[in-house]
Chain A
Amino acid sequence: MLRQVLRKPLTKFGLVLVCLMPFAWLCSGIFLDGLGPNPAEYLIRSTGNWTLRFLCITLLVTPLRVVFNMPELLRFRRNLGVLTFIYALMHALCYSVFDMGLAWDEIVADIVKRPFIAVGFAGAVMLSLLAATSFNAAIKMLGAVRWRMLHRLVYAIAVLAILHFFWMRSGKQDFTEVFVYAGILGVLLGWRIWHAAHSRLQARL
């Protein structure tokens, strides 16, 4: 039953629609004055939070697929990855427009000067590489092996994202949420290491 629902094209469409709801909600907040006293800061922070959340959801696909033996889930991985990129792009745009007023020279200076920004920028660049190679023709062009190597960058992106968030919160030493996201991503990456080691062991037996 669940497998059949997952196979339907409408499910994929519905998933993307649901995932764009936070975005729609933030947009409506701009026009309905629903983003609190400092809307610029609210937009920058919430797009950052949603990027982290979608990164976790995207990295959850493979473990779920393997553990529950549900190859159908693979169909959503690309959509979720691209959605992660869209939220990251919004985050970078909000920072560039609201915080920096699109002064490119100041943005460049900020990236060079502040490790906190540099780490976020590096993660965003890597993420755009993945988004730019997220269609079938790109896989064919690169070859599956090289494509898979490239897309392992997502693990580096996860580490950079946590570091970026950690530095952001280090002013007030308020790390509770940082540890929650680090814990989730740690489990998701740890499972992959465990799974790779385990399959290799089984292959040998």
Chain B
Amino acid sequence: MVIPWIGYSLSDLIKRVEPLPGAKYLEFVTQADPQTMPGLRGGYIDWPYLEGLRMDEAMHPLSLLTFGMYGEVLPKQNGAPVRLVVPWKYGFKSGKSIVKIRFVEKQPVISWAKSAPQEYGFYSNVNPTVDHPRWSQASERRIGEGGLLDKKRKTLMFNGYEAQVASLYTGMDLAKNF
């Protein structure tokens, strides 16, 4: 799905709060209200849902603090009032309804990596050359585009943002840091 998000660069906020030099990572804590979110009772991850970014990822102008989509204020189910959108990671790493942002020194343990470490790593970059343990990530279907029988399209490195973000990961083994 290709979604016209509305927001501003997370880096604007980060610059404004002047984090200490020891801040290497950001941890995002999201809303966990059992009153309005009955799904929390299922409890298959350790709520609240936690996300994280490395400082340079968070400072990248494409990392978006998001308040709206399709020209309208973000609906509740899409993460109102404010969520993260990191476009080179699909919908991964895009915590919804953020209630707290912590600047931390060590890489935070994010919710999916905690619940299924063999399946999800910290980075979750879109990478057609690294298979998920249970499926290939070489191709994708854009929801809302074309018919049922249309061929899937080849997935692009970093979701097509290779020119903008590849430099963040130079020298890193992306098969290990998936």
Contacts and interface: CB of A to CB of B under 8 A. Distances in A.
A114 B136 CA distance: 9
A37 B116 contact: no
B116 A167 contact: no
A30 B148 contact: yes
A: contact size bracket: 20 to 34
B143 A37 contact: yes
B42 A110 contact: no
Contacts of A170: 116, 119, 134
B115 interface: yes
A176 B119 contact: no
Nearest to B115: A173
B44 A173 contact: yes
A47 B103 CA distance: 46
A199 interface: no
Interface string B121-147: 000000000010011100001011000
A172 B44 contact: yes
A14 interface: no
Contact of A167 (B45, B115, B134, B151): B134
A39 B146 CA distance: 11
Nearest to B151: A101
Given A38-B143, A171-B116, A173-B115, 11 more contacts: A37-B1, A37-B144, A99-B152, A113-B131, A113-B136, A168-B134, A172-B44, A173-B45, A173-B116, A175-B44, A176-B42
Interface of A: 30, 37-40, 43, 97-99, 101, 106, 110, 113-114, 116, 167-168, 170-176
24 contacts: A30-B148, A37-B143, A37-B144, A38-B141, A39-B148, A43-B148, A97-B149, A98-B148, A98-B149, A99-B152, A106-B136, A110-B135, A113-B131, A113-B136, A114-B134, A116-B135, A167-B134, A171-B116, A171-B119, A172-B115, A173-B45, A173-B115, A173-B116, A174-B44
